[in-house]
Structure 1
Amino acid sequence: MSIIQSNNIIALVVDDSPESLGMLNATLNQEGLTVLVALSGLQALSIVDKVQPDVILLDAVMPEMDGFETCIRLKEKLPSTPILFMTGLNDSEHIVRGFEVGGVDYITKPVVPNEVLARIKAHSHNAKLAKSAQIALDYAGQYIFCVSQSGKLEWATPHAQELLEELSGNLVDDWETIGSEIAVWLKSEQRTTPLALHYFETPLQAEYAGDYDQLHSLIRLVTKKVMGKEQDLQAALNVTKRESQVLYWLSFGKTNWEIAQILDISPRTINKHLEQIFRKLDVDNRTAAASISIRILEGN
């Protein structure tokens, strides 16, 4: 099957009713949309292997493979393509189930042509904007994941996929392990605080990077910085053991009085140590000394 994709919207309509397909095909064609039709879930999966639609209309109730199973399998192939379920007026269970498997909206039968068209245009436009944002994140080299409210992974930038594959080799299995933990964290008031992920040998943490839309959030993975020790400062800067201790706590923004309390010596002694530290590092203030210390402790 070969179709030349133009700048208009390409809609895939999946319904086991030829009458419904005929009506929607005529309505959408009249509005300038390119319409692909499928009478079953398997036929829809075959179509998307050849053509990528901008939006999919999917009947919830079909024989053999129902709309929900079809949606799950379509999402594996087209994670960013919006899927709108078509369902009966009183089928609230179908509506809920549709959202659970990845649908973004639903349309009640019998369908109202103008309503269908408006929803298709809105969701395809939003999907294109989202795709542009994803491409920008890819280009920027960010370790970004897009997740649903339940922690389900929707997409990841190539750099993020490479990061997890380097650490353990299986993005899907990894996310099944950490997804529920991330979902709990996202719903809590603690999401502004990075979440430590202990699943990997290399220390990682998740940072909340903002809302993607009303149903999804962006998560940034960063390598957790491992702070060095006082001995690292002593070796790198040729200072005494006590001077390295003073410098270590200085890098955490501690005052002379606080450092004196920690080391159980007098503030006057701290001043004397700082004078020696400034001379050895060839700096003239606390900020410059702390900056040098931090770079060594963070391994930069």
Structure 2
Amino acid sequence: MHVLIIEDDVELAQFIQKGLQSEGISVSVAFDGVIGRSMVNERQYDVVVLDVNLPGMNGYDLCRYIKQNWPAIPVILLTALGSLDNKVLGFESGADDYLTKPFAFKELLFRLKALARRHPSRAPLPKRLELLDLAVDTESHQVWRGSQRINLTAREYALLEYLMAHQGRVVNRVDLLENVWDVHFNTNTNVVDVYINYLRRKIDNTEPKLLHTVFGVGYMLRAEP
């Protein structure tokens, strides 16, 4: 699971981030509405935790924007405004849940996980994913590099498909463990690195190299060196 926190209270945002990361959840943070909107445009998150009173773009407007463009992504509004009118406004803006400050972290975690289960945000993949001469058929699970058919194990294919669906973006190990191995807890396993090496030997035995390591961050598929 990858959660986006949009909260201008730096201390609170970091508190939530640290707590979620301790649960093995991948977290990104934005401190104003405009940056938050830009980050939502760049990748698809499983849940957005959104403050109402934000600089740049307020939470109600940003929630409407998210729901107009990505209606499947659940949004939890965080606010000190707990009146019925404020809650109605929040839900009319498209929010899936509404949590009044101050709140217990465990309650936020429970609601976040419940929303992620009820509202899977993964959009269907296109039938064919391509990057230069690398092609993946998501229906038949067949893979080619140029005219050469590449035979992959089921796990190697799942890893490649996820990376292809996020090509041009750095994908960290937590994302891969959650989405390819369905592991949702902290682990020191090196299984991701092992399978990256397996995959690299099969798809990158020709030029240009497509699977790149971003040291200290993760991996990405891209056409540039």
Contact 2:48 2:76 survives alignment (8 Å): yes
Pairing 1:22–2:14 present: yes
Over residues 19-68 of structure 1, what are the superposed CA-to-partner deviations in whole Å (9 max), with x where a residue is unaligned?
11011001101001001101111111111222211001111112331100
**Deviation of residue 74 (structure 1)?**
1.6
Pairing 1:81–2:81 present: no
Segments of structure 2 that go 5 or more residues without pairing to the other structure are: 125-225
Aligned equivalent of 1:12? 4
Aligned equivalent of 1:278? none
**Deviation of residue 17 (structure 1)?**
0.8
The one-letter code matched in structure 2 to 1:88 is A
Segments of structure 1 that go 5 or more residues without pairing to the other structure are: 1-8, 136-300
TM-score between both structures, scaled by the size of structure 2? 0.52
Over residues 1-21 of structure 1, what are the superposed CA-to-partner deviations in whole Å (9 max), with x where a residue is unaligned?
xxxxxxxx1111111110110
Aligned equivalent of 1:32? 24
**Deviation of residue 79 (structure 1)?**
1.3
Aligned equivalent of 1:108? 100
Aligned counterpart in structure 1 of residue 115 of structure 2, from 112, 123, 127? 123
Over residues 102-133 of structure 1, what are the superposed CA-to-partner deviations in whole Å (9 max), with x where a residue is unaligned?
001111111211101111110001112xx68x
The one-letter code matched in structure 2 to 1:90 is G
Aligned equivalent of 2:47? 55
Pairing of 1:149-164 with structure 2 (within 5 A): none
Contact 2:33 2:55 survives alignment (8 Å): no
Runs of 4+ with >4 A deviation: none
Aligned equivalent of 2:189? none
Distance 2:82 2:71 in 1: 28
**How many equivalent residue pairs?**
126
Q: Which has the larger radius of gyration?
A: 1
Distance 1:11 1:83 in 2: 10
Pairing of 1:130-145 with structure 2 (within 5 A): none
Aligned equivalent of 1:95? 87
Instruction: Give the structure with the larger helix fraction.
Output: 1
Over aligned residue pairs, what C-alpha RMSD do you find?
Answer: 2.2
Contact 1:84 1:104 survives alignment (8 Å): yes
Over residues 47-105 of structure 1, what are the superposed CA-to-partner deviations in whole Å (9 max), with x where a residue is unaligned?
12222110011111123311001111122331110001011263332211110010011
**Cα pair distance change 1:91/1:38, threshold 3 Å:** farther
TM-score between both structures, scaled by the size of structure 1? 0.39
Pairing of 1:112-261 with structure 2 (within 5 A): 112-128=104-120
Distance 1:50 1:62 in 2: 20
Distance 1:33 1:25 in 2: 9
Contact 1:40 1:62 survives alignment (8 Å): yes
The one-letter code matched in structure 1 to 2:89 is R
